[in-house]
Amino acid sequence: MRLTGSCLCGAVGFELEGWVSPIQACHAERCRKATGGLFSPEVAAAGDKFVWTGEVGNIASYEAPLLDTPPAYRRNFCRTCGSPLPVEHEGMIVLQAGVLDNCSELDVFRHAFVGQKSGCCEITDGKPQFEGQPPVPDVSELHE
Ligand SMILES: [Zn+2]
């Protein structure tokens, strides 16, 4: 699958090609704070054909204090508009579905960290729920 995305002001964009996961709704408190959403709509993708477009100098990063074990929780965002931008994590790319130009082929397939779910978020879609971090998705769940 080929995906493109950009931040709100358009200064920073990206393109990628290869396998893409469906959307994981992450309810972790850190992910809610980082995105401003009731949950973070996370997409994992192949990292080998990922490229930034636009003004890469506009990408800022934040690393939160380590909670447990490395790697640290890191967020990329646009210096101008604050949109969350993709982060490289263990050779793959993790991004927020909301910054994609088109995510019509992706759907929410599970909920992560529901143990930290917001009190005003009710999960009604019947998709699998995990108290904490779910296992790595099965290959059959990935879009090529
Ligand atoms: Zn921007």
Mean pLDDT of 83-100: 94
Ligand 1 centroid to 141 CA: how many Å? 31
Instruction: Using the mean position of ligand 1's atoms as its centre, give its distance from the Cα of residue 134 in Å.
Output: 31
% of residues, the chain, pLDDT over 70: 100
How far does residue 126's CA lie from ligand 1's centre (Å)?
A: 35
Distance 19 CA to ligand 1 centre (A): 26
pLDDT value of residue 142: 81
Could you report the per-residue pLDDT of 120-143, keeping only the tens digit for each? 999 999 999 999 999 887 777 788
Range 101-127 average pLDDT: 95
CA of 80 to the centre of ligand 1 (A): 5
Percent of the chain having pLDDT more than 90? 81
Give me ligand 1 centre to Cα 79, in Å: 7
| Span from the CA of 55 to the centroid of ligand 1 (angstroms) | 9
Going by pLDDT thresholds of 50, 70 and 90, the confidence category of residue 101 is very high
Please write the tens of the pLDDT for every residue from 34-71.
999 999 999 999 999 999 999 999 999 999 888 777 77
pLDDT for residue 107: 94
Amino acid 137: pLDDT: 75
How does residue 95 score in pLDDT terms, banded at 50, 70 and 90? very high
CA of 81 to the centre of ligand 1 (A): 4
Q: What is the full DSSP assignment across the chain? A: -EEEEE-SSSSEEEEEES-B--EEEE--HHHHHHH-SSSEEEEEEESTT-EEEE-GGGEEEEEPPPSSSSSP-EEEEETTT--EE-EEETTEEEEEGGGBS--TT--EEEEE-GGG--TT----S---B-SSPPPPPPGGGSB-
Out of 3.40.50.2020, 3.10.129.10, 3.90.1590.10, 3.40.50.410, select the CATH number for domain 2-130.
Answer: 3.90.1590.10
pTM: 0.90
Instruction: Give the residue extent of every domain in the chain.
Output: 2-130
136 alpha carbon – ligand 1 mean position (Å): 30
